[in-house]
Amino acid sequence: MKSLDSIISECRANAYDLNFSRAREWKEEEEGRVLVGYMPIYFPREIIHAAGAMPVGIFGGGDDKQIIKGDAYYQSYICHIPRSIIEIALDKHLDHVDGFIFPSICDVIRNLSGIFKQQKIGKFVKYMDFPQNFLPEIGGVFYQQEMSHVLKYIKEINGKDVTTEALNHSIELYNRNRQLIETIYNVRQDFPWRLTIDEVYCIVRAGTVIPVEEHNELLEQVCTHISEDIGDPQDKIKVVVSGAFCEQPASGLIKAIEEAGCYVVDDDYMLGSRMILGDIDASTSHPLQAISTAYIKQSQYSSSIYDVHDPKENRLAKIVKDRGADGVIFAAASFCDPSLLDAPIFQNAFDKMGIRYIAFQYSENINQYKVIKEQVGAFSDSIKLWEDEPAIPAIEDKIK
Amino acid sequence: MAEEAQKEKSMILQKEMISSLFSDLSRAKELGKKVCYTFIPGNLSELIRTFDMLPVYPEINALQSAMRKKSAAYIKEAERNAHSEDVCTYVKCDVGMLMKGNLGPTGEKIPDPDVLLLSYTGCFTFLKWFETLKREYPDAKVIMVHTPYQENGEMTPEMTEYMVKQFKEEVIPQMEEVTGIKYDEAKLQRHLVLSAEAEDLINKIFQTTKHKPSPIDAYFAGVYYIGPINIGFRGTQQAVDYYKELYSEIQERIRLGLGPITPEGEMKEEKYRLVVEGPPNWTSFREFWKIFYDIGAVIVASSYTKVGGVYDLGWRHDPERPLEALAEYCMNCYTNMNLPQRIDLLKKCIVDYEADGYVTNSIKSCNSFSAGQLGMMREIEDSLEVPVGFIESDLVDPRYFSYSNIKNRLESYFQMLDQRKKMELEEV
Ligand code: SF4
Ligand code: SF4
């Protein structure tokens, strides 16, 4: 078994590797292998895996990549991630990636798919229209058709037909992947000092750019390590971070929140890897249907899914309660419509429920966090001062 | 004189239609009509009429508030209530208006919705907007129609079928439930016949800009022309009559060799013919327009007039396939087209209408339009070698309309067009 430190540094290297080297190696190991890039938030990676290809999460350029060409594509009042994705594509970091998937999360990602098409980047560009109709026989069928299109594109490259067995096997692998990630979060809920949130982040994000089999192995080892009583508890409050599901905060910011006095016991940084709650049925003769039903019935709330049947404020409140958190940090990428448009919905509801929160905006390329750190520190101090008050008086009723 | 009188007739017709709608809205309860809030792109006017509901368009409320100089206060109100500075200002203007009592342009309260019909087409903000409204109107029924995006530049049978299933199994039964009215397909078809007629006419109207001088401005005046077809009158005889009248007025202008009418009278000399991409600014609409007409720039085509439906390429509502027609209509709105399609459409406009230039008005808070506009502009510039101009403003937030910046930029752009024209003349 590898040491925890070495796993973390391996994951960190992969998570932030803008050359996607492990994916490249994997592709070169065997003739005919295919890499499929996907943008945030979520894509059912199972189907790519089952088609003999490897999914590669493309989550922007972070604070490493200097933007030169990307700014010529996007006005200053558009979030940062599309310009960094264009930059890494035009700088040929993605040349080994065969096709690209743009999930339907917002107008920016949607229109970015058009730029990729126009620039003829990759062998295929697929805007993946996730259903906003939540009846399995309507939205579910449409979703299965969308998945079939992706499989058709991959088949045009590698000639492989996808079998039910292969799909079920892939579903099992990703079920295991999510179970292990949840185990980490569950352990951290009670013992957040055993791994920092920045370490968790690297471990989870690495899974988007390395083969799932390897990731599962690393996760198993991480779970073993953190089942031991390691690390020292510190006097910090517990928070949930919400709203950072697409453009990723720089590593320094993820660290800064904990350093400023908040254990992050849940977050939506890598929401896509945790989107489906629980397992997808891996034993059916219609695996695409199983994936689609799971999406419709078992998805985490998201700013990109119409929530009228299950209001997101109640779902986040439930996470806060279940994790025993003291409050919420709303972190939105600057100019991120879905996140910012959700903010008043959450905040108005939380004011009524008595859930404490703060909100700030970030940009993936900004690595100055002094102000945010002060804000988070003040938040943590204020909660500690009120320690004797019931933290969340009105949640109980709301989330029943 | 004769021409002035004719001009007024279409305007009077339009005014009458709009005020009758708002008057009906203020008496909705009395009239026993249900109220349906919905959006312009992908608006299902004919279906709403089939169920005798009255439509309310939050975007129209927002833009009218801006033209009445009320949007700044509404936006501030929303921002005080946790709405970010950086999101769609239509949403904030609407939310602020609601918080201030929801008074419409006539000064009367706009009734609360019975239905929030979200046939969301081409813009994710619509979804967030109605999530917000749902919290304000918990008793309203939300009816969601997911319009698939034309990601491959086509409407496939699968996409149409997906929408038709939603109409049949979700939208229509819920509308029946709210209104107590049974779905009457023959009635819908009758509306669709009239829709196609109005669409033919509006298409002909926008084609008249091929004439030189162009008899109309397809952007600044175009936004008025699209009013009836977009705000609930598509599918009515009133809309057909309005467009017939307008068309005959324009024919008369062509016969007389007249240019477009501006707020300061007729434009005397057509110096530049432009295609504009992006919505206009509403808070300083007149000043914005004036920069163009003062210099003799006429807009011969604009993408904004296609947000409520693209009729240039031959598509029409087909009464023989009523639900399929509604589905295709939603999918075929401008912002639901992928970027290569949008580029092709704009290029076609530039070529067909013999435009001298292409201008992008990039709206700060509208990603649906703005994200990707720079790439589109570059592609158009490269492939057609047409001079391109770029300005930035906002829809309804006056803080983001800088008159001097925009004027300076446009003046430099017009100088560039001048030089280009001179060079072309020299070459000849
Ligand atoms: S950061 Fe927000 S607005 Fe930008 S691409 Fe992601 S979801 Fe869309
Ligand atoms: S973002 Fe643009 S298209 Fe969407 S609602 Fe706002 S103004 Fe309309």
Interface confidence (ipTM) of the complex: 0.95
Average pLDDT over residues A182-210: 98
pTM: 0.96
- Give me the residue from B82, B131, B362 closest to A307, CB to CB: B131
The answer to the question of residue A182 being in a domain is no
Q: Which secondary-structure segment (H or E) carries A108? A: helix A107-118
The answer to the question of residue A279 being in a domain is yes
Phi and psi angles of residue B106, each rounded to the nearest 5 degrees, phi first: -85, 0
Q: Which secondary-structure segment (H or E) carries A54? A: strand A53-57
User: How do the residues of chain A divide into helix, strand and coil, expressed in percent and rounded to 5?
Assistant: 50, 10, 35
Range of the domain at B54: 27-180
The answer to the question of residue B303 being in a domain is no
The answer to the question of residue B85 being in a domain is yes
Q: CA separation (Å) from B118 to B51, B160, B171, B372?
A: 16, 17, 10, 25
Given a cut of 50, is residue A30 above it in pLDDT? yes
Q: What is the reported pLDDT for A309?
A: 80
- Give me the residue from A106, A117, A341 closest to B340, CB to CB: A117
Q: Are B280 and B366 spatial neighbours (Cβ–Cβ below 8 Å)? A: no
In CATH, what number is assigned to the domain containing residue A364?
A: 3.40.50.11900
Mention every residue, 6+ apart, whose C-beta is less than 8 A from residue B229.
B198, B199, B202, B239, B243, B308, B309
Given a cut of 70, is residue A76 above it in pLDDT? yes
Report which of A155, A108, A102 is spatially closest to residue A130, judged by C-alpha positions: A102
Does the CB of A296 have a partner CB in chain B at under 8 Å? no
Widest distance between CA atoms in chain A: 64
Q: Is B22 strand, coil or helix? A: helix
Q: What is the reported pLDDT for B31?
A: 96
Residue at which a domain ends, from A130, A147, A177: A130
DSSP annotation string for B125-157: HHHHHHHHHHHH-TTSEEEEEE---BTTSS--H
**What pairs with residue B262 in β-bridges?**
B265
As for how many domains chain B has, the answer is 1
Q: Are A220 and A24 spatial neighbours (Cβ–Cβ below 8 Å)? A: no
In CATH, what number is assigned to the domain containing residue A58?
A: 3.40.50.11890
B335 C-alpha to center of ligand 2: Å? Answer: 10
The answer to the question of residue A207 being in a domain is no
List average pLDDT for each run of 10 residues in chain B, which is 428 residues long: 55 93 94 97 97 96 93 96 95 96 87 94 95 95 97 97 98 98 98 98 98 98 96 97 97 96 94 98 97 97 97 97 98 97 98 98 96 97 97 96 96 95 84
A397 C-alpha to center of ligand 2: Å? Answer: 35
Report which of B178, B187, B181, B203 is spatially closest to residue B236, judged by C-alpha positions: B187
The answer to the question of residue A89 being in a domain is yes
As for how many domains chain A has, the answer is 2
Measure in Å the smallest separation between the Cα of B168 and chain A Cα atoms.
11
**What pairs with residue A126 in β-bridges?**
A101
- Give me the residue from A75, A127, A141 closest to B149, CB to CB: A127
Separation of alpha carbons A331 and A310, rounded Å: 22
The answer to the question of residue B127 being in a domain is yes
The answer to the question of residue A228 being in a domain is no
- pLDDT single digits (tens) A324-373: 999 999 999 999 999 999 999 999 999 999 999 999 999 999 888 899 99
Looking at the CA of A81, name the nearest ligand. Answer: 1
The answer to the question of residue B382 being in a domain is no
Instruction: Assess whether the previous peptide bond of A41 is cis (omega < 30° from 0).
Output: yes
Contacts of B78 in chain A (CB under 8 A): 344
B152 C-alpha to center of ligand 2: Å? Answer: 22
Distance, C-alpha A233 to centroid of its chain? 27
Mention every residue, 6+ apart, whose C-beta is less than 8 A from residue B419.
none
Contact A142 B392 (CB under 8 A): no
The answer to the question of residue A47 being in a domain is yes
Residue at which a domain ends, from A96, A130, A164: A130
Separation of alpha carbons B90 and B110, rounded Å: 17
The answer to the question of residue B32 being in a domain is yes
Q: Are residues A248 and A387 in the same domain?
A: yes
Q: What is the DSSP letter of A310?
A: S
Q: Which two tokens stand for residue B139?
A: 């008793």
Percent of chain B scoring above 70 in pLDDT: 98
Region for B316 from its dihedrals, namely left if φ exceeds 0, alpha if ψ lies in -120 to 50, beta otherwise: beta
Residue A128 identity (one-letter amino acid): M
Q: CA separation (Å) from A116 to A111, A125, A255, B243?
A: 9, 7, 33, 40
Please give the sequence-ordered ranges of beta strands (E in DSSP) within A206-300, or none if there are none. Answer: 237-242, 262-267
Average pLDDT over residues A144-153: 98
Separation of alpha carbons B235 and B240, rounded Å: 8
Mention every residue, 6+ apart, whose C-beta is less than 8 A from residue A376.
A256, A257, A260, A261, A262, A329, A358
- Give me the residue from A107, A114, A139 closest to B367, CB to CB: A107
Contact A133 B91 (CB under 8 A): no
Mention every residue, 6+ apart, whose C-beta is less than 8 A from residue A128.
A43, A101, A102, A103, A104, A146, A150
A109 C-alpha to center of ligand 1: Å? Answer: 7
DSSP annotation string for B258-324: ---EETTEE-----EEEEEESPPPSTTHHHHHHHHHHHTEEEEEESGGGTT---TTS----TTSHHH
Residue at which a domain ends, from A130, A154, A188: A130
B90: Cβ below 6 Å to ligand 2?
yes
Question: Which of B63, B130, B366, B400 is the pocket-test mutation for ligand 2 (most atoms within 8 Å of CB)?
Answer: B366
Nearest CA to ligand 2 atom 1: B366
The answer to the question of residue A186 being in a domain is no
Q: CA separation (Å) from B71 to A136, A194, A337, B96, B284?
A: 42, 51, 20, 8, 12
The answer to the question of residue B258 being in a domain is no
B88: Cβ below 6 Å to ligand 2?
yes
B62: Cβ below 6 Å to ligand 2?
no
The answer to the question of residue B410 being in a domain is no
Range of the domain at A268: 235-398
Report which of B255, B242, B230, B252 is spatially closest to residue B201, judged by C-alpha positions: B242
DSSP annotation string for A150-198: HHHHHHHHH-PPPPHHHHHHHHHHHHHHHHHHHHHHHHHHH-GGGS-HH
Given a cut of 80, is residue A308 above it in pLDDT? no
Looking at the CA of B124, name the nearest ligand. Answer: 2
Separation of alpha carbons B297 and B290, rounded Å: 10
Q: What is the reported pLDDT for B120?
A: 82
**What pairs with residue A358 in β-bridges?**
A329
* Atom in ligand 1 nearest the alpha carbon of residue A333: 1
Q: Are strands A99-103 and A327-333 parallel, antiparallel or unpaired?
A: unpaired
Separation of alpha carbons A106 and A108, rounded Å: 5
A398 pLDDT tier (thresholds 50, 70, 90) = very low
Q: What is the DSSP letter of B337?
A: B
Contact A111 B84 (CB under 8 A): no
Contact A78 B129 (CB under 8 A): no
Q: Are B115 and B141 spatial neighbours (Cβ–Cβ below 8 Å)? A: yes
The answer to the question of residue B205 being in a domain is no
Separation of alpha carbons B9 and A332, rounded Å: 51
Phi and psi angles of residue B218, each rounded to the nearest 5 degrees, phi first: -85, 5
B366: Cβ below 6 Å to ligand 2?
yes
Separation of alpha carbons A133 and B42, rounded Å: 16
Q: What is the reported pLDDT for A363?
A: 96
Q: Are A220 and A243 spatial neighbours (Cβ–Cβ below 8 Å)? A: no
The answer to the question of residue A17 being in a domain is no
The mean predicted confidence, pLDDT, of chain A is: 95
Q: CA separation (Å) from B206 to A150, A198, B225, B275, B318?
A: 39, 57, 9, 12, 21
Contact B371 A347 (CB under 8 A): no
Instruction: Assess whether the previous peptide bond of B228 is cis (omega < 30° from 0).
Output: no
In CATH, what number is assigned to the domain containing residue B176?
A: 3.40.50.11890
Mention every residue, 6+ apart, whose C-beta is less than 8 A from residue A326.
A237, A238, A239, A356, A383, A391
**What pairs with residue A54 in β-bridges?**
A35
Contact A118 B118 (CB under 8 A): no
